[in-house]
Structure 1
Amino acid sequence: MTDPAPTWTIVIHGGAGSMTPDNLGAAEEAAARQALAAALEAGAAILRSGGASLDAVQAAVRVLEDDPHFNAGRGSVFTAEGRIECDAAIMDGANLDAGAVAGVRSTKNPILLAREVMDRSTHVFLAGVGADNFGRAHDIEAAEPSWFETPERRRQLDEILANPDMPFDSAMKYGTVGAVAVDGDGHVASATSTGGLTGKKWGRVGDSPLIGAGTYADDRAAAVSCTGAGEYFIRLGVAHEICARVRLAGWSIEDAADTLIDELGDLGGKGGVIVVSPDGSGGWAFNTKAMYRAMAMHDSAPEIAIYGHE
């Protein structure tokens, strides 16, 4: 008698923002959907073979970091000074282990560096040159600035610098990437990676690498990855708050995600979340026009979407 196929779910995002068919364009939309499909399959392949959710979310995010259509790794946005500074975090719901990095400039895949911080240091969060140096000491692949830079991101910086009062939502077409998953053993995990905000100053760090704000995973509740206006996600502790309402108040992940996004909007924030629970349910919530998103489950065909009506 053969063992039953593992039950699993993976959900990914590539950022929430003001994308429409008109401002995105057919070619850009097709490329984004293709990248989401590739990232989804990278994670799903691990889960399908009985692998761990932690490895699955890392694999999915790494694919998106390598794709220039998203604001993470290659294709990250520029700071006001014309640099690229990346943030990332990863968390294991089985034991609450976590690793995070912020302001890294020379690590090709920040999510691999965050995982290394989790696995091979006594710390949770490293920043700046020290984080990059930790990566070099542990053989995490480095990259020159030219690896990260793209003409479109340079154009966006020029637009922001020329229009410093431009509203956040109108400036944001692409964004943070993330993945959440539950594996056949019922363990959840979350991973998030970003280049931050175009034209950011003074070493600004958003919610993505902050455990509990933009990234959180707990087998007693859910795994969550966030994207959007980070300052609001930090103030609400969105990722942890979703898990707390599931674990302590008995809410469904859908109700918790929807309510936190409503509360985010009440404060004036825009963005979205992806969620998955140990029982295999998964989904998303967002209050922007669109959100790059995709989901696959052991017993259903992959779902890939961008716009709000999908």
Structure 2
Amino acid sequence: MKKSSKFYAMIILIVALLVMIGYYLHNNQSKRIDMDLQGSLVRLDSHVLTVYNVRNFNDYETIDLHSIAKKFDSAIRYVAYNNEALYLLLEEKDHTWSILRITNNAMDLYALPIIENDVKRYQIVLDKDNILVIMNQKIYQSEREKFAFQLVSQEFSYKNQFIFSPSLYGYVYMDSSNVVRNLQNTVNLISLDSYSTYNGIINSSYLVLTRMPEKKRFGEIYDLNTGEYRKLTKGPLYNFGSVGDVVLLEIESDNGEPDFFAPNLLVNPSRYSNHITDYEPFFYDVKNDVIIKLPEGIYTRALDQSITYQSEEFNREALQQLKLLCESSHN
């Protein structure tokens, strides 16, 4: 009888433990965590541009750019957007490059001093004064209205998925020796170990890093003020832009298999609000250490798809005006 009582007690204990674990995981995956999302999300998918309102992802505008590509006989490689204009990075068949600026009443094509036929990385970065074009390991810069691009760096580290962001240091980049430099005067800001992969500036206080200590990959946040690291994920990170203290990241697992207690592959499962799987982007609030999954279907890691998180607020009226111009360009 005593054996039977102990056996049933053990069964009850195991069941209770499983119920507690299930409740813990469900509670951490389903609870809502408020995050101050601002700006907009820009996706380019096979010559179709979609701009999302990050406060409500059901609020978006889509612009078909196929007629633009046909009109200029070019492939559209990247789109930068603000509410006054679209900036399209075009690659022509002879591997020359140009920027097409589309405003409410005009299309202006500006040739770039670039001939590259094996480009694996390209990007346009806008601020109120400058335009930057990143092409493989080269960085070109022009004043916003002049479109007179100059080569300002050939040291850009290709292995690093780097997102430019104006900060206290101005524009910065990482060179091939893992030194973070100021773009204007090449002042060394910080040196990182040879096992690190630099993954972008969030703001003037933090860097996003993927580190490989002892051949293990970790995603970490580096505090510029204290010099300390904060471990974030168990796999490397990819940066798709940031607004304030919120950055859009993608996580990659080491082996494709999630941990039992961390199905989203994050170090601390208590700080996420939705399940995150391999190669899936999520918002991370650096200040509050909170993670929210990006809604399904917005980013699929397709070959011809790119996504950027930017500070420009979603403006449907401005987008619709640009849409009318783009989609009537075949006339």
Settle same-fold status: TM greater than 0.5. Answer: no
TM-score with structure 2 setting the length? 0.29
TM-score with structure 1 setting the length? 0.30
Higher relative contact order (CA 8 A, sep 6+): 1
Q: Which has the higher helix share?
A: 1
